[in-house]
Structure 1
Amino acid sequence: MRAEGFSKRPVNARGRFRLSRSEYDEIVAPRARTSRPALSQLLLLTAGLVVLTLISVISIYLVNKARDDTRWVLRSMEVENEISLAQLQIQRAESSQRSFLLTQRPEFRAAFEDASGRIPLSFERLRVLTKENPYQQQRLQQMVPLTSQRIEQLRQSIDLALTNRLDQAVESARREAGQDATRQIRDLGNEMRTEANRLLAARTASADASQSRSALITSVGSGLVVLFAGLSIYLVRRSNRERDLANARLRDINLNLESTIEKRTSDLREANDEIQRFAYIVSHDLRSPLVNIMGFTSELEELRGDIFRRIAELSRPDSLPPPGVNDPASAAEPVLDGPDEQLSQDFTEALGFIKSSIAKMDRLIGAILSLTREGRREFHPVSIAMRDLIEGIVSTVAHQAAEADAQIRVEPLPDIVTDRIAIEQIFSNLIDNALKYLKPDVPGDIAISGRRKLGFAIFEITDNGRGIDPKDHQRIFDLFRRAGPQDRPGQGIGLAHVRALVRRLGGTISVSSKLGAGTTFTVTLPSTWMVTNRDEQS
């Protein structure tokens, strides 16, 4: 059949087409190839950000180190300057002392006092500048008392000259000039200057190295940034080329896509029509043997009376006269004894089973015919006031609700544009189910509510009935499948029919329920539905 050949096409469980491998390569693969350069650009951007961060951190470190090295270089230069200044002040004090002894002029004495007053200040600055250098501190500690001693000797000579003991002062100055203290002061100053020069050279070299490393890092970082920028430009251009090629392929594919979809839709619609015709023919042909079986069962039931009446006559004792033709007892149920009576009961029971099975089969065939006829019906969207429609359905089941001691509450509902007959069938089935499966001896409460969301209308039918086991939530929507105790009449086609209608209308239906806790059916439908290929395919 046509339907069998079409079923081999790539169609998923909802009747929608799956892409073949070639179609996937033509449509999806180019997009995947286009996304790979984008990933490369992202990785490159990440690498560039990491490199820039490292360069920034290293540059900050090297700049701080160069600043520290420069500060230490300046410190070494200050130490050398202070040592020179201290030695200069000592020499100035000695020169001023000799000049005063020779000339007795007061300006030389004032120069001596000025120089001797500046020496302690220089030593104090040296103590602060060399506090991190134990070698310099040791030399300074030796130099300070020797210098103080020498200055005191020079002052004593000046005091002798002031008291008219010039010869004694000159002799004292000549004798003190050759002492070791002066030479020691000079040697200690030279040692401190040598150490200061050594530190100055080392710190200058360290500062130069830090600046060189900083320049190198900056150069390397700039080169890497330029490299990353070049690679990014290359990847962007390649990505643009591949995207243009992919778009060109997609344009070529889209040119044939509509015709391909239309062809497949036509094939699917033809297959569905043939399946419906097949179901209709099969159901119709099943009725013929079923009618024959029903007729022969009726004849067999009539023959049953004659058969067991004959058995009763053959079992009657010879002493009893046969009943007359007009005897009322002859038309009544024959009186049987023992095994014959049991056989009559079994025969009657078998006929009852056959008749009930025939009736059930007749109802199922009728349901199949009803579904096929409904599947061929065309839908026509119209504007529907949902609250008025639901209240109309509720009024038709008011007697049934009163017998079940149930109330049905209809809350404000959103209006929609869809097929009226389909909507009536959907909600009639759901409300009928809610009434049918209420708890016994418990007042029923059924509520119908609705709301809008993102272009859809969502309706909920909630009851406080017996509920549905979660494992049966999907089963109840299958054809001829029922859940829970089968103590209510039905063929198991109501919810299957509801789901088929909801899907044809472009919506979905779901159930939320627990045993003993009531049930909520949720129906989601487009607020404005138009005839689509999906409906045509159905």
Structure 2
Amino acid sequence: MPISGNALVRSTAALLLVGLLALAAIVGTTIWLVERNQVYFDEGLEARIARSATVNLRNALQNAETGQRGFLLTGEERYLEPYNDALPQISDLLERFNTVLKPYPEADAPVAALNAGVADKLSELAQTIALTRAGKRDEAMAIVETDRGKDAMDEARTLFDGIITAADERIVAGIEDQRGSTNALRWVTIIGAFVIFVVVGGSALTVMAYTRDIAKARGDLEAANAGLEDRVRERTADLGKANEEIQRFAYIVTHDLRAPLVNIMGFTAELEGTVGTLQGYMNGHDDGDDPRWSDARLAATEDLPEAIGFIRSSTRKMDGLINAILKISREGRRQLRPESLDLNEVIETSTSAVHHQISENGGSVTSDVKVPRIVSDKLSLEQILGNLLDNAVKYQDTARPLTIVVRAALAAGNRISIDVQDNGRGIASTDHERVFELFRRSGAQSQPGEGIGLAHVRTMVRSLGGEITLVSELGTGTTFTISLPRDLRNYVGSVQ
């Protein structure tokens, strides 16, 4: 089933929304997991720092204790090297230890006890070493045997071991937490990538299907256009032939009609002469005794002249109609001659032809042309404008001066628009289309004519590839609008 434009927009919007939500979820989850990993890393780092400070302090105390014992046993100063090396470090290491554990209020009591124990142990070490150096080794050993230093060191080791164990547990837990976060991030990335892949794939498939439908539709349209062009060409050729046949038929008909009409007009003229002779005779003689004489005289002097007058009027009207048909037939056969024209000059020439008729009654005719040079048939344009201007003069409203405005402007589709506007008596809405029909007239028949003017205008406009319409209101005026191609050669080439 072909995908419509609305369906494509809806499906693409839905897929993009899903993709956007998936991307937002991935970004949000990734940021949250990264933050959690940072927390786990910071906690592990703090645990490592605390463990390092504890181990270093413990090792320094053990080194100091080892140096003290070696010195007490041997009395040799070289055994005090571990003590001498560790002693200056213990103060710094103890301060760092206190700093590391300061953020943890639960460690305040053990840390205070440790500080006291370390101070007591250092005091015991310093005292025993001093006594041994003074030669009072027995007193020093007595102090050692009281287990005062041992107890302080045991308490410190217990605290050290607790801190190291807690730090190790925190490090292990942090590693597990980081591993869990990493796994979660991996799965979020995989799932999000899958969702995005599905969205992109779905969008690609939808676009490909829509593009395929467009390509198919374009192919069908091209095929239809090719067939349509052939059909249009055939129909145009058929219409051209039919038009030629109609024109030929109109010419033959009018020609054949004119022959008997000429005979009728000739015999009518002869009949008028005979009636004149008969009238002279009847007027010169009077036979009042015969009742038939008065009837004959009435027929010769009144009835026959009236009948001949009707015949002559009818033949003149028929002659006018035949001439009109011949005029339209000849116009249809006339070869168009496209040439470059200044439309303003054509309009000025047409308006100047009626300017005297309009101005003598206080009217005016103006033009407003905003069109560059065009290519069209000059004679047809002059006849079109001339007919419209003549109609405006012929059917002006006697209650006010006639005003005519001719405008020309560019229109869409490389066309031009020409408006012929007047303030004449107007045309009833029911006759807007009727006035373009052959031998049809609108309104009061106060002016002579056969009703072919606007039919002729429409024929000429259409021969130029255009169309004519009107807007009119009784008592207000009429505006005829002509739409024409800017270059007649394009139109002539398209219908050949």
TM-score category of the 2 structures, normalised to the smaller one: 0.5 to 0.7
Q: Given that residues 436 and 454 in structure 2 are in contact (C-alpha distance below 8 angstroms), is that contact kept between their aligned partners in structure 1?
A: yes
* Pair 1:274-2:232 in alignment: no
- How much has 1:468 moved relative to structure 2? 4.8
Matched with 1:200 is: 175
Deviates more, 1:437-446 or 1:382-391: 382-391
In the alignment, the residues of structure 1 paired with residue 242 and residue 386 of structure 2 have an alpha-carbon distance, to the nearest angstrom, of 30
Trace 1:417-436 onto structure 2 (pairs within 5 A).
417-436=375-394
* Pair 1:77-2:34 in alignment: no
In the alignment, the residues of structure 2 paired with residue 84 and residue 380 of structure 1 have an alpha-carbon distance, to the nearest angstrom, of 106
* Pair 1:509-2:471 in alignment: no
Matched with 1:173 is: 148
In the alignment, the residues of structure 2 paired with residue 426 and residue 50 of structure 1 have an alpha-carbon distance, to the nearest angstrom, of 61
* Pair 1:445-2:403 in alignment: yes
Any idea what SS the aligned residue of 1:375 has?
Answer: helix
Trace 1:342-357 onto structure 2 (pairs within 5 A).
none
Q: Deviations over 1:381-405 (max 9, x none)?
A: 4565655554444444344324542
Any idea what SS the aligned residue of 1:427 has?
Answer: helix
Unmatched 5+ stretches in structure 1: 1-32, 128-139, 307-320, 335-343
Change over 3 Å in CA distance of 1:414–1:244 after alignment to 2: closer
Which TM-score applies when normalising by structure 2?
Answer: 0.63
Q: Deviations over 1:37-91 (max 9, x none)?
A: x999999999998998788667656754664454345234313313312432552
Q: Given that residues 380 and 419 in structure 1 are in contact (C-alpha distance below 8 angstroms), is that contact kept between their aligned partners in structure 2?
A: yes
Aligned to 2:331, which of 374, 380, 400?
A: 374
Change over 3 Å in CA distance of 1:180–1:158 after alignment to 2: closer
Aligned to 1:123, which of 63, 86, 101?
A: 101
Matched with 1:91 is: 58
Trace 1:324-339 onto structure 2 (pairs within 5 A).
none
Aligned residues: 444
Deviates more, 1:82-91 or 1:154-163: 154-163
Change over 3 Å in CA distance of 1:365–1:220 after alignment to 2: same
In the alignment, the residues of structure 2 paired with residue 248 and residue 490 of structure 1 have an alpha-carbon distance, to the nearest angstrom, of 50
In the alignment, the residues of structure 2 paired with residue 227 and residue 533 of structure 1 have an alpha-carbon distance, to the nearest angstrom, of 48
- How much has 1:497 moved relative to structure 2? 1.2
In the alignment, the residues of structure 1 paired with residue 199 and residue 368 of structure 2 have an alpha-carbon distance, to the nearest angstrom, of 69
In the alignment, the residues of structure 1 paired with residue 245 and residue 359 of structure 2 have an alpha-carbon distance, to the nearest angstrom, of 45
Q: Given that residues 444 and 463 in structure 1 are in contact (C-alpha distance below 8 angstroms), is that contact kept between their aligned partners in structure 2?
A: yes
Deviates more, 1:41-50 or 1:184-193: 41-50
Identity of aligned residues (%): 27
Change over 3 Å in CA distance of 1:226–1:324 after alignment to 2: closer
Q: Given that residues 407 and 445 in structure 1 are in contact (C-alpha distance below 8 angstroms), is that contact kept between their aligned partners in structure 2?
A: yes
Matched with 1:6 is: none
Q: Given that residues 55 and 217 in structure 1 are in contact (C-alpha distance below 8 angstroms), is that contact kept between their aligned partners in structure 2?
A: yes
Which TM-score applies when normalising by structure 1?
Answer: 0.59
In the alignment, the residues of structure 1 paired with residue 150 and residue 468 of structure 2 have an alpha-carbon distance, to the nearest angstrom, of 123
Q: Given that residues 461 and 520 in structure 1 are in contact (C-alpha distance below 8 angstroms), is that contact kept between their aligned partners in structure 2?
A: yes
Change over 3 Å in CA distance of 1:438–1:176 after alignment to 2: farther
Matched with 2:422 is: 463
Matched with 1:28 is: none
Change over 3 Å in CA distance of 1:370–1:118 after alignment to 2: same
- How much has 1:429 moved relative to structure 2? 0.8
Matched with 1:494 is: 453
Change over 3 Å in CA distance of 1:471–1:197 after alignment to 2: farther
Matched with 2:283 is: none
Q: Given that residues 76 and 200 in structure 1 are in contact (C-alpha distance below 8 angstroms), is that contact kept between their aligned partners in structure 2?
A: no
Q: Given that residues 480 and 492 in structure 1 are in contact (C-alpha distance below 8 angstroms), is that contact kept between their aligned partners in structure 2?
A: yes
In the alignment, the residues of structure 1 paired with residue 356 and residue 222 of structure 2 have an alpha-carbon distance, to the nearest angstrom, of 66
Matched with 2:92 is: 114
CA RMSD of aligned residues (A): 6.1
Unmatched 5+ stretches in structure 2: 72-79, 132-138, 280-287
Which amino acid is the alignment partner of residue 424 of structure 1? E
Q: Given that residues 449 and 461 in structure 1 are in contact (C-alpha distance below 8 angstroms), is that contact kept between their aligned partners in structure 2?
A: yes
In the alignment, the residues of structure 2 paired with residue 101 and residue 534 of structure 1 have an alpha-carbon distance, to the nearest angstrom, of 119
Change over 3 Å in CA distance of 1:274–1:209 after alignment to 2: same
Matched with 1:29 is: none
* Pair 1:214-2:155 in alignment: no
Q: Given that residues 384 and 460 in structure 2 are in contact (C-alpha distance below 8 angstroms), is that contact kept between their aligned partners in structure 1?
A: yes
In the alignment, the residues of structure 1 paired with residue 221 and residue 404 of structure 2 have an alpha-carbon distance, to the nearest angstrom, of 54
- How much has 1:213 moved relative to structure 2? 5.2
In the alignment, the residues of structure 2 paired with residue 390 and residue 353 of structure 1 have an alpha-carbon distance, to the nearest angstrom, of 42
Aligned to 1:409, which of 362, 366, 384?
A: 366
In the alignment, the residues of structure 2 paired with residue 224 and residue 418 of structure 1 have an alpha-carbon distance, to the nearest angstrom, of 58
Q: Given that residues 391 and 410 in structure 1 are in contact (C-alpha distance below 8 angstroms), is that contact kept between their aligned partners in structure 2?
A: yes
Deviates more, 1:81-90 or 1:279-288: 279-288
In the alignment, the residues of structure 2 paired with residue 520 and residue 61 of structure 1 have an alpha-carbon distance, to the nearest angstrom, of 69
- How much has 1:427 moved relative to structure 2? 1.1
Q: Deviations over 1:479-499 (max 9, x none)?
A: 344455655544433222111
- How much has 1:207 moved relative to structure 2? 0.8
Change over 3 Å in CA distance of 1:75–1:472 after alignment to 2: farther
Any idea what SS the aligned residue of 2:148 has?
Answer: helix
Q: Given that residues 80 and 197 in structure 1 are in contact (C-alpha distance below 8 angstroms), is that contact kept between their aligned partners in structure 2?
A: no
